[in-house]
Amino acid sequence: MSAETERAWEYVLRTIETDLLSGALKPGDRLPPERTLAAHLSVGRSSVREAFRVLEVLGLIRTASGSGPQAGAIIVATPSGGMSALMRLQVAATGFAVADIVSTRLLLETSVAAELAATDADTTAPRQLLSAMDSPGLSEAEFLALDAQFHVSLAEASGNVVVAAMMAGLRSSIESYVLRAVPNLESWERTSARLRTEHAAILAAIESGQVAEARELVHDHISHYYAESHLTRDAASVA
Amino acid sequence: MSAETERAWEYVLRTIETDLLSGALKPGDRLPPERTLAAHLSVGRSSVREAFRVLEVLGLIRTASGSGPQAGAIIVATPSGGMSALMRLQVAATGFAVADIVSTRLLLETSVAAELAATDADTTAPRQLLSAMDSPGLSEAEFLALDAQFHVSLAEASGNVVVAAMMAGLRSSIESYVLRAVPNLESWERTSARLRTEHAAILAAIESGQVAEARELVHDHISHYYAESHLTRDAASVA
DNA sequence: CCCATCTGTGTGGTCTGACCACATGCTACA
DNA sequence: TGTAGCATGTGGTCAGACCACACAGATGGG
């Protein structure tokens, strides 16, 4: 147990966190200008900036140059961005194995689907994404982006923000791998058609309240695709 | 689709991420000194530092002053720290509701327990923590810390690093709330005794392969405690 | 009177240079 | 030979300067 001296930017971060917890700061509020806050906390402006960078990447603030009410650092609390950055970098640094990402996604999404089927949640968002994926002339990347949004929208429909953020993070963390694995597919045409069919079946099972069916369909949908694209294998052989 | 000009620190971050993905950088490696990297990328040292702060908070690097092989920025890829910081701050900024944190924990942990029961995983770590919690004279905070470690160790036993990191993050994000809610309990003595009993039952179910039983016990264990401490209610009334 | 234009001001974004604290490793001296 | 002291390189921090940008108010022409 050493003195564990706190660095200046950590002090700034801790101060802001305290203000958030006490309610002195809340989403929509504007943080003081960097120079003012630096003077107020008796630290250099660079230390304030380092703390702000962290807050920005974590999705807590949004910064904008210029003047007026939209400029400065504003508290936003949009978790998906930070979750995505965290998971993406951890996967890049091999702190997270792609196989673990996939199985976590499987775990979360089957539970979400089961819960959605058990309740009667609003499914308009996934419905719209479903029809958007039927548009002709979509590129592979565009289709997969809509696909990702569809799955995230299911999590959002559950009303659990944390799970939704995790789903978004999990997805974006392996986005580059998924794109790179597309050529591994035997036929993109056939696969995308199957994905569309499966999406429709999943949504139908959810809307009709078939809990076990929804869970099963989601499980097969996800694991089937990853197996088909040989994603986990390729991820291991990237190095 | 604007030009979306990249800021200097984002450029640094992207460069490092690229090197990670390409395998040019991997855990254990040392990043170049800040001054060198700044000159190499034609940016200011402060921009490099802002990128480093982000990497540090996200658990990707560890920095140390001084000289020698241990000094500098070293890639470590320890995800739990970043996950904890992210969730803790998001909860503080009310981006994550405490109720969602709790239900996510419920979702993850019941699945983990079921999976552990279905396989025969190594349970020595949770066993040790179980006996550690039997030590007399533990303070409430100490007991709860061991409790948290017990649950995280279950996730770790599943072998899924992502889920383990999430569990650690979920737990630390509401740590302050949990501690503050202890006085709400009718009797800490009785509650802690019950927790110990339930932990033992959970572990026994897992080790004996009773899947449904393990899931059920974990569910009741978690939801019972939160209900008893009125945590979600208090969290809402903190402001 | 109204609208467009110009300008001042305050903000974040960045760079430079300087200094400190610290850990290491070498060197000179006893 | 061993130890004390010094040189070096690293992150940590601060101060100051400049830029780009967005807004608000002043200014001018219609």
- The domain segmentation of chain B, as residue ranges, is 8-75, 80-236
pLDDT of residue A231: 78
Topology of the domain covering B8-75: Arc Repressor Mutant, subunit A (1.10.10)
pLDDT of residue A210: 96
pLDDT of residue A230: 80
Task: Please check whether strand C approaches the CB of A49 to within 7 Å.
Answer: yes
Dihedral, B229, B232, B236, B237 alpha carbons, nearest 10: -10
Largest CA distance in chain A: 63
Provide the b/e sequence for B218-233 (b: ≥16 CB within 10 Å).
beebbeebbeebebbe
Lowest mean pLDDT among A26-30, A201-205, B100-104, B133-137: B133-137
* Single-letter amino acid code for the residue at A170: L
Q: Is B64 helix (H, G, I), strand (E, B) or coil?
A: strand
Facing residue for B93 by CB, picked from A20, A92, A94: A20
pLDDT of residue B166: 98
ipTM of predicted assembly, 2 dp: 0.92
pLDDT tens profile A133-185: 999 999 999 999 999 999 999 999 999 999 999 999 999 999 999 999 999 89
Query: CB of A26 within 8 Å of any CB in chain B?
Result: yes
Contact A50 B50 (CB under 8 A): yes
CB-based contact A180:A232 (threshold 8 Å): no
Contacts of B91 (CB under 8 A, 6+ apart): B98, B101, B173, B174, B177
Give mean pLDDT, residues B55-66. 97
B31/B5 Cα distance (integer angstroms): 25
Closest CA to the C1' of C9: that residue is A67
Contact A86 B89 (CB under 8 A): no
Helix (H) / strand (E) containing B136: none
First vs last C-alpha separation in chain B: 40
Closest CA to the C1' of C16: that residue is B44
Class of domain B80-236: mainly alpha
CB-based contact A126:A157 (threshold 8 Å): yes
Q: A238 vs B18, which has greater pLDDT?
A: B18
| Residue B115: both structure tokens together | 């999976």
Q: In the predicted model, is pLDDT for residue A193 greater than 60?
A: yes
Number of C-beta neighbours around residue B193 at 10 A: 11
Contacts of A100 in chain B (CB under 8 A): 159-163
Q: Which residues sit opposite A64 in a β-bridge?
A: A72
Q: In the predicted model, is pLDDT for residue A1 greater than 50?
A: no
pLDDT tens profile B64-115: 999 988 999 999 999 999 999 999 999 999 999 999 999 999 999 999 999 9
Tell me which residue has tokens 């869970």: A215
Instruction: Give the whole-number percent of chain B exceeding pLDDT 70.
Output: 95
Query: CB of B63 within 8 Å of any CB in chain A?
Result: no
Interface-testing mutation among A6, A18, A53, A65, with chain B (most B C-beta atoms within 10 A): A53
**What is the CA A9 to chain-centroid distance, rounded?**
27
Within this chain, domains A8-75 and A80-236 share the same CATH topology: no
Facing residue for A20 by CB, picked from B55, B86, B92: B92
pLDDT of residue B236: 47
Q: How far is the CA of B172 from the C1' of C5 (A)?
A: 55
Q: Is A73 helix (H, G, I), strand (E, B) or coil?
A: strand
Task: Please check whether strand C approaches the CB of B69 to within 7 Å.
Answer: yes
Task: Please check whether strand C approaches the CB of B68 to within 7 Å.
Answer: yes
pLDDT of residue B233: 59
Give mean pLDDT, residues A57-75. 95
pLDDT tens profile B110-154: 999 999 999 989 999 999 999 999 999 999 999 999 999 999 999
